[in-house]
């Protein structure tokens, strides 16, 4: 079940509860019909608005579920000077990257560009420390380049051993 399905199901249940209160309340019939029509009419609007938001980057301040994430991989980024920094972040344990937007910050933009320049022509990824934690410490970089790890050293096979050497 996706978050959209869960949120929409919750909205349907809450709207049903609200409509049942209106139906069973001692009111005029037209008031009950209006309450029921309003509850039923709000459901397609809620669903369409949630579906529309799926394609938009989420403001990073509104992330609740992954608030304690220590590090994320920056899959892609777009800088809109004076407006914001759009990021696609791959969170640990999440199969798909997620789109977020940071408010514009020249130091953050410079850190991100420096990390990307460090990796130009090399294998590696750009990482982001504490992506959802508002930091007042501008001294420690939030973005950094993570070089491709070196392959593990080869174990010498027994046939590679020199004569007279114990293996």
**What secondary structure does DSSP assign to 37-55, as a single string?**
HHHHHHHHHHHHHHHHHTT
Which of 86-90, 145-149, 155-159 is predicted least confidently?
Answer: 155-159
Which of 17-31, 68-82, 101-115 is predicted least confidently?
Answer: 17-31
Give one word for 124, left, alpha or beta, with left for phi > 0 and alpha for psi -120 to 50.
Answer: left
Element (H, E) at 106: helix 106-118
Residues in contact with 131: Cβ distance below 8 Å, sequence separation at least 6, in sequence order: 60, 69, 71, 72, 87, 89, 100, 142
pLDDT average, residue stretch 25-33: 82
Residue 139, pLDDT score: 60
- Which pTM does this prediction carry? 0.64
Residues in contact with 105: Cβ distance below 8 Å, sequence separation at least 6, in sequence order: 85
């Amino acid at each position: 079940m996706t978050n959209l399905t869960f949120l929409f199901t919750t909205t349907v249940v809450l709207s049903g509860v609200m409509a049942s209160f209106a139906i069973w309340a001692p009111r005029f019939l037209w008031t009950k019909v209006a309450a029921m029509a309003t509850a039923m009419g709000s459901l397609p609007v809620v669903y369409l608005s949630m579906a529309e938001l799926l394609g938009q980057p989420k403001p990073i301040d509104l992330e609740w579920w992954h608030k304690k994430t220590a590090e994320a991989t920056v899959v892609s980024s777009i800088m809109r000077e004076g407006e914001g920094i759009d990021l696609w972040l791959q969170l640990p344990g999440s199969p798909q990257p997620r789109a977020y937007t940071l408010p514009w910050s020249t130091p953050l933009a410079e850190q991100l560009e420096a990390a990307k320049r460090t990796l130009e022509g090399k294998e590696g990824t750009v990482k982001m420390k504490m992506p959802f934690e508002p930091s007042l410490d501008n001294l420690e970089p939030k973005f950094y380049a993570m070089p491709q790890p070196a392959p593990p050293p080869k174990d010498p096979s027994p046939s590679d051993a020199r004569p007279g050497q114990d293996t």
